[in-house]
């Protein structure tokens, strides 16, 4: 038998380790840091640069990755940090944190929209404009920074106006701080304007076009940033990859993964309640719930969606106790689908869950509660089907006379049992087993049982 205390301790240890890993520096990065510091001390030649690659939607793990990369680059004594960027957009809160980090940094930072065909859309526009040096690869785009794609969900006219006004003033402040085209920056928010790399350089949205990292380093060599002249010609390039914790939590914060965690937590916990002692379903459900709560704390999840999912669970369970002929199951299915749909409606469009996930999840949940859970709950209220308890209430045959003063014997299910009774039972009489006391059965006359029933009915 698995020790439950041990399992609980293991779960808490793994959860704690995962959160600690978020703040843990990659050992390989630390080794590179020591090596580069030594090289810098030994040589007065070309400096070094650190490079991080940000692709996909901007979220909490992106903020952590950029912050870690910036700290590592600063500690190495690099000339600058280069952020390779390719994003369709992301969360406004995470974008603001990144912009604050870039604007407040005295360490030079370059945002390089690459590779060819990449896009600095929505949140990426804010981040690019906030860098000390903004560069783009050929055939890339920047813009479409409207708050609709950044904040997700439907907004009323008042809220929409407030968010647009804030976003316009915010991006104007960023562009003005870096000496870039403020009018175009505002139009990227107000009108969703998007331009190519060539147009961006021409109207002073970004500083230059570079075909590669080497080309970028060559072009910015000798530029003065934050009162220091960059020495980047032929600089050593150090790539900082995402560590295991960042990769894991980035995967964890994907809406479809959070939806799956929601299902696992529901199935696991309900499965443990309906089948006490199974351990595995309960353990899986608790782990999924802890991870889900982490995701909820990091992402702007719609509370109404959670309430609808909770209502769906109540309806599903109620179906097991109420002869509603599937009505509650149907209502629960609708409630679950709408709840899952609303759960991530406040996220940007590219981060919302598609119907290809919602419909199968709803069907699986309905099947789970309609069959497994209903059967499990009903099983809790059925009689015993094995062991001595299952024999209580069944008939047996008297083989040796039984009186209130003297034990006798009965024959039941191929076995002889010692028996006692308050009734007088003769050999060959039929009796009802009332209970078992060790190896002795307590019985009652079937005739008396029948008389009692008739009296109660009369």
- Tell me the whole-structure pTM to 2 decimals: 0.66
The pLDDT tens digits for 371-390 are 766 665 565 555 555 567 77
DSSP for 302-349? -HHHHHHHHHHHHHHHHHHHS--TTHHHHHHHHHHHHHHHHHTTTS-G
Q: How far apart are CA 179 and CA 172, in angstroms?
A: 10
Tokens of residue 229, six digits: 């002249």
Tokens of residue 379, six digits: 């099983």
CA angle 271, 372, 291 (to 5 degrees): 35
Q: Which residues contact 358 (CB under 8 A, 6 or more apart)?
A: 259, 337, 340, 341
The pLDDT tens digits for 383-429 are 555 567 778 888 999 999 999 899 999 998 888 899 999 889 999 89
> Could you tell me which residue, 138 or 350, shows the higher pLDDT?
138
The pLDDT tens digits for 334-365 are 888 888 888 777 666 666 677 787 888 888 88
Q: Which CATH architecture has domain 26-242?
A: Alpha-Beta Complex (3.90)
Delimit the domains of the chain by residue range.
1-24+243-299, 26-242, 301-382, 388-450
Would you tell me which CATH number, out of the four given (2.60.120.10, 3.90.1150.10, 2.40.50.140, 3.40.50.300), belongs to the domain 388-450? 2.40.50.140
The pLDDT tens digits for 22-48 are 444 444 443 444 444 434 433 456 789
144 pLDDT above the threshold of 80? yes
Q: How far apart are CA 118 and CA 109, in angstroms?
A: 19
- What count of Cα atoms within 13 Å lies in the side-chain half-sphere of residue 272? 14
Q: What is the DSSP letter of 52?
A: E
The pLDDT tens digits for 96-132 are 999 999 999 999 999 999 999 999 998 999 999 999 9
Q: At residue 136, what are phi and psi to the nearest 5 degrees?
A: -135, 145
Helices (H), 109-243: 123-130, 147-151, 157-177, 182-190, 197-202, 213-220
The pLDDT tens digits for 231-274 are 999 999 999 999 998 888 888 888 888 888 888 888 888 777 76
SS3 of residue 238 by DSSP: strand
Residue that has been written with the tokens 């995962």 in this structure: 18
The pLDDT tens digits for 74-91 are 999 999 999 999 998 888
Tokens of residue 143, six digits: 């813009």
C-beta neighbour count of 140 within 10 angstroms: 24
């Amino acid at each position: 038998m698995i020790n439950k205390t041990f399992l609980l301790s293991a779960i808490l240890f793994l959860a704690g380790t995962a959160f600690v890993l978020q703040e843990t520096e990659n050992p390989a990065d630390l080794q590179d840091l020591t090596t580069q510091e030594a090289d810098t001390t030994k040589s007065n030649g070309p400096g070094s640069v650190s490079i991080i690659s940000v692709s996909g939607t901007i979220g909490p793990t992106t903020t952590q990755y950029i912050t870690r990369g910036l700290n590592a680059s600063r500690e190495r004594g690099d000339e600058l940090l280069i952020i390779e960027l390719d994003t369709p957009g992301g969360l406004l809160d995470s974008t603001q944190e990144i912009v604050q980090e870039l604007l407040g940094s005295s360490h030079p930072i370059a945002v390089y929209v690459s590779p060819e065909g990449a896009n600095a859309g929505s949140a990426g526009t804010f981040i690019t404009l906030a860098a000390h040096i903004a560069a783009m690869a050929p055939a890339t785009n920047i813009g479409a920074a409207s708050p609709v794609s950044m904040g997700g969900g439907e907004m009323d006219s008042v809220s929409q106006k407030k968010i647009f006004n804030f976003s316009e003033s915010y991006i104007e402040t960023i562009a003005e701080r870096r000496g870039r085209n403020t009018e175009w920056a505002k139009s990227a928010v107000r009108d969703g304007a998007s331009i190519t790399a060539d147009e961006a350089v021409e109207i002073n949205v970004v500083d230059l076009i570079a075909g590669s990292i080497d080309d970028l380093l060559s072009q910015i060599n000798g530029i003065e940033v934050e009162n220091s002249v960059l020495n980047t010609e032929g600089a050593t390039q150090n790539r900082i990859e995402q560590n295991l914790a960042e990769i894991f939590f980035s995967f964890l914060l994907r809406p479809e993964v959070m939806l799956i965690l929601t299902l696992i937590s529901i199935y696991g916990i309900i499965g443990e309640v309906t089948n006490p002692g199974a351990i595995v379903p309960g353990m899986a459900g608790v782990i999924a719930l802890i991870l889900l709560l982490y995701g909820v704390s990091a992402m702007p999840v719609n509370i109404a969606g959670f309430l609808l999912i909770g209502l769906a669970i109540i309806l599903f369970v109620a179906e097991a106790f109420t002869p509603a002929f599937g009505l509650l199951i149907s209502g629960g299915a609708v409630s679950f689908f709408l709840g899952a749909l609303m759960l991530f409606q406040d996220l940007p469009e590219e981060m919302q869950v598609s119907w290809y996930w919602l419909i199968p999840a709803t069907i699986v949940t309905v099947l789970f509660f309609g069959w497994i859970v209903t059967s499990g709950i009903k099983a809790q209220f059925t009689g015993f089907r094995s062991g001595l308890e299952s024999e209580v209430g069944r008939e047996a045959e008297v083989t040796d006379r039984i009186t209130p003063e003297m034990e006798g014997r009965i024959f039941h299910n191929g076995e002889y049992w010692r028996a006692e009774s308050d009734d007088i039972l003769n050999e060959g009489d039929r009796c009802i087993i009332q209970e078992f006391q060790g190896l002795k059965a307590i019985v009652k006359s079937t005739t008396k049982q029948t008389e009692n029933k008739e009296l109660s009915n009369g």
